[in-house]
């Protein structure tokens, strides 16, 4: 007997349903219904609550765990590990938090390599371009400019590092996902703008450490500094305690 022709449609429907469950659970966690340390209802209870199958619930929980928001403890249940701020849910409503986090995961590999190669291959002109972009972001913060101005300065900084790597494919890949990268930057910069002066200083310091390592020609430190910066940006998205 041939497999059912509707199987792909069923897979798509399951994915859409798991998206809905994921988003509703995320909103509940961000809104405080499920606090950090709280044990979530069982798969069976959630499937009854959302009127979906257990595999749909399981997929939504798997993604929340992958994002670092919940954690599964063998024989005990599933617990809330981090609580994003409600602002994150609002800011990612159109593009989906999972997609933003996936962008950071990709950038960690891509841009860590860019930074390492940039520290090895940069020219004086490259260093000037990187420093100019870092200065533009600092200026945008200090003058309270628009999020668009901050976003463009931030992207220019990261792109200048890719150019300095002297690997054209890295630049092409970054350019090909530019809108998604800028979308993630828009979210993180909006959070940074509304947070404390200390947080803004921390973000600028992270950029400065990357710039300094590239300037002195230290590939190892440049890669570590870039990965740390992107990892911290991702953590600030999923943990409202860092949104200060």
pLDDT at 69 over 60: yes
- What CATH number does residue 29 fall under? 1.10.10.10
45 occurs within a structural domain: yes
Domain boundary among 64, 83, 102: 83
Mean pLDDT across the chain? 89
Q: What is the mean pLDDT of residues 83-97?
A: 85
For residues 28 and 123, membership in a common domain is answered with no
pLDDT at 6 over 50: no
Lowest mean pLDDT among 133-142, 183-192, 194-203, 211-220: 194-203
pLDDT at 1 over 50: no
Most confident residue range from 33-37, 114-118, 186-190: 114-118
- What CATH number does residue 165 fall under? 1.20.120.530
Predicted local confidence at residue 108, as pLDDT: 94
**Nearest-angstrom CA–CA distance, 162 and 144:** 27
β-strand 70-73 against 77-80: which pairing, if any?
Answer: antiparallel
For residues 75 and 185, membership in a common domain is answered with no
Q: What is the mean pLDDT of residues 223-234?
A: 95
More confident residue, 201 or 115: 115
pLDDT at 145 over 90: no
The β-bridge partners of 39 are 79
Q: How many domains does the chain have?
A: 2
Q: What percent of the chain has pLDDT over 90?
A: 66
Domain boundary among 83, 102, 134: 83
**Nearest-angstrom CA–CA distance, 199 and 3:** 55
For residues 143 and 188, membership in a common domain is answered with yes
1 occurs within a structural domain: no
For residues 167 and 128, membership in a common domain is answered with yes
Lowest mean pLDDT among 13-27, 97-111, 160-174, 210-224: 13-27
For residues 78 and 93, membership in a common domain is answered with no
Predicted local confidence at residue 10, as pLDDT: 54
Predicted local confidence at residue 13, as pLDDT: 60
For residues 104 and 207, membership in a common domain is answered with yes
Question: Residue 66 in contact with residue 84, Cβ under 8 Å?
Answer: no
Show the domain range for 58: 7-83
pLDDT at 5 over 80: no
For residues 124 and 20, membership in a common domain is answered with no
Predicted local confidence at residue 244, as pLDDT: 53
């Amino acid at each position: 007997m041939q497999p059912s022709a509707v199987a792909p449609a069923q897979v798509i429907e399951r994915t859409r349903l798991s998206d809905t469950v994921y988003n509703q659970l995320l909103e509940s966690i961000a809104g405080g219904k499920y606090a950090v340390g709280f044990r979530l209802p069982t798969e069976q209870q959630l499937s009854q609550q959302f009127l979906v199958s257990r595999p749909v619930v399981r997929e939504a929980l798997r993604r929340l765990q992958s994002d670092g928001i919940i954690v599964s403890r063998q024989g005990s249940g599933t617990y809330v590990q981090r609580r994003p701020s409600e602002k994150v849910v609002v800011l990612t409503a159109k593009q989906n938090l999972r997609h933003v986090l996936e962008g950071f995961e990709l950038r960690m590999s891509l841009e860590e390599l860019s930074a390492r190669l940039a520290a090895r291959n940069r020219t004086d002109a490259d260093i000037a371009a990187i420093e100019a972009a870092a200065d533009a972001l600092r200026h945008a913060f200090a003058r309270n400019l628009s999020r668009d101005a901050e976003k463009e300065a931030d992207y220019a900084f990261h792109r200048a590092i890719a150019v300095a790597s002297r690997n054209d494919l890295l630049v092409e890949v970054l350019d090909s996902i530019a809108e998604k990268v800028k979308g993630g930057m828009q979210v993180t910069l909006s959070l940074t703008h509304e947070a404390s002066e200390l947080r803004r200083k921390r973000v600028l310091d992270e950029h400065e450490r990357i710039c300094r390592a590239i300037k002195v020609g230290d590939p190892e430190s440049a890669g570590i500094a870039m990965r740390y910066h992107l990892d911290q940006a991702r953590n600030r998205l999923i943990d409202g305690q860092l949104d200060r």
